Structure 1
Amino acid sequence: MRLQGKVALVTGSGQGIGRAIAVRLAEEGARVVVEDRSDNAAAEETLARIRQAGTDGCVIGGDIGDAGVDTRVIEQAVIAMGRVDVLVNNAGIEKRAEFLDVTEADFDAVLGVNLRGTFFATQAFARHVQERGGDGAVVNISSVHEELPFPHFASYAASKGAVKMLMRNLSIELAPLGIRVNNVAPGAVQTPINAALLSNQQELKALLANIPLGRLGHTQDVANAVLFLASDEAAYVTGTTLFVDGGLLWSYSEQ
């Protein structure tokens, strides 16, 4: 049990990658705070699966793009669970648009969740760690698009590039508190958000041609990487991005 006695908070864990991460951490002994935009049926289903894995947790709702909510979420997690040892900044959104058509509202929404949420949730977590005497881990769910251009998703790529530099900066600044900060950068993963892609055989075939391992990723692939970085097995790992992409980053080309 690599996370026995630890408490992990996973933002955006009502479904998809976030749910897989929450359950995987629970399987290794962590009690898990399920954070989602609201205390909804999906979040409660994630909590039920955590309990099936043999541990426990709670659900806390809130818009992670709001800095005040980020502080409240950490505070409520500490009240409910006693402490938080691992923060997984998983919540994220994307909006497709030609660059010339991107609206300010859509830009603010994407940067709000993907960057602002990661920034201020980590700040609130770090303050908690400082108060309890140090030691913790932050894992941000980034994307291959922290490095790889993503036409028609300029705000998303900008947000993930910013999260890369935020991670590098905080790995230095928070090291005196014993906080390790790393990114996991998934490539193309089978999740509900990719339903349209999965149903379009022509687009799917073109994408798979860019992936050396020849398949889409599974949510479990990402969850296993997060588990490693959250555990003491990665005690000397900070300031780095672990790509989970089947080789996509170094093989991709726009058709």
Structure 2
Amino acid sequence: MTDFTGKVALVTGAASGIGAAITARLHAAGASVLLADVDAERLRTAVADVTRAGDVEAACAAAVEEFGGLDLVFNVAGAARLGTVLDGGEDDWRATVDLVLGGTYLGIRYGGRAIRATGRGGAIVNVSSLNAHVPLYGGSSYAAGKAGVEMLTKNAALELARHGIRVNAVLPGLVRTPLTAGWFDGGPIERDFAARILAGRPAEPDELAGPAVFLAGPDASYVNGTSLVVDGGWEITNYPDISAAVEA
């Protein structure tokens, strides 16, 4: 395991799922971690809504105040309000894009500023999605937002490199988290997922945490502005038809 002793990290969406797994990995590797999430019940370290610039800026400032600086940012927070292009709610569409794309933008903006201020460089890892490449029935807002995260990652890498800050993205496939719990009911959609994912199963959160932490560490020192798909081989097959679940 890479040694992150002396490094300070901010993880959004840290209360559960991939964010919690990344946090556990960083702690085990010696990093100091500021956990941020909108879920006040699960997390009492820094309650932050990543769609609000003030919250994100405050979380970065809290990391600096508590630990003396900031080196790493993991933009994990995300969710989706499903609905078709024709019949889904316009407010739901905007809210999803604001969360998955806008929240990542704010994490890069204020996290990047805090890292720049240390003068020692660092790394930012954004959690995009396989849906940046593969459309999702009823999830146009999520897919479009995550595709935006992938390009935002490249643009941020281009701009932040002069400050010694690398920016990369992880693109998960299906991961077993509280947000995806509804897929795992033993029904036809779950079976269809299993049949199409070459690994034959969804990922566990720690299987995404490992690649994310790798991208932030010294072994990835020459990796910048890229996307790492971590999907069990799903992208090279195709996507299940989930219309029955979306339109139920």
- Calculate the TM-score normalised by the size of structure 2: 0.93
Q: Alpha-carbon deviations, 1:66-90, whole Å to 9, x = none? A: 1222212211221122111110000
| Matched residue, 1:164 | 150
- Conservation of the 8 A alpha-carbon contact between 1:67 and 1:116: no
SS at match of 2:190: helix
Alignment partner of 1:219 is 2:220: no
Q: Alpha-carbon deviations, 1:20-61, whole Å to 9, x = none? A: 1111111111111110115x24124xxxxxxxxxxxxxx111
Alignment partner of 1:43 is 2:37: no
- Conservation of the 8 A alpha-carbon contact between 2:197 and 2:237: yes
Alignment partner of 1:3 is 2:4: yes
Mapped to 1, the partners of 2:91 and 2:80 lie a distance apart of: 12
| Matched residue, 1:242 | 228
Aligned residue pairs, count: 240
Pairing of 1:95-110 with structure 2 (within 5 A): 95-110=81-96
Q: Which amino acid aligns with 2:43?
A: A
Q: Which amino acid aligns with 1:34?
A: L
Cα deviation for residue 231 of structure 1 reads: 0.8
Alignment partner of 1:191 is 2:169: no
- Calculate the TM-score normalised by the size of structure 1: 0.90
- Conservation of the 8 A alpha-carbon contact between 1:60 and 1:77: no
Cα deviation for residue 254 of structure 1 reads: 4.1
Mapped to 2, the partners of 1:180 and 1:206 lie a distance apart of: 37
| Matched residue, 2:57 | 71
Pairing of 1:198-213 with structure 2 (within 5 A): 198-213=184-199
| Matched residue, 1:21 | 22
Pairing of 1:140-151 with structure 2 (within 5 A): 140-151=126-137
Q: Which has the higher helix share?
A: 1
Cα deviation for residue 208 of structure 1 reads: 0.8
The structure-2 alpha-carbon separation of the partners of 1:83 and 1:244, relative to structure 1 and needing over 3 Å to count, comes to same
| Matched residue, 1:233 | 219
Identity %: 37
RMSD of the TM alignment (CA)? 1.3
SS at match of 1:249: coil
Mapped to 2, the partners of 1:243 and 1:228 lie a distance apart of: 13
Mapped to 2, the partners of 1:191 and 1:207 lie a distance apart of: 15
SS at match of 1:43: coil
Point out the more displaced range, 87-96 or 129-138: 129-138
Detail structure 1 runs of 4+ shifted over 6 Å in the superposition.
Answer: none
Of the three residues 113, 119, 139, the one matched with 1:153 is 139
Alignment partner of 1:123 is 2:109: yes
Point out the more displaced range, 199-208 or 155-164: 199-208
Q: Alpha-carbon deviations, 1:83-124, whole Å to 9, x = none? A: 111100000010111211222321221112111111112111
Mapped to 2, the partners of 1:142 and 1:125 lie a distance apart of: 17
Cα deviation for residue 219 of structure 1 reads: 0.5
Gaps of 5+ in 1: 45-58
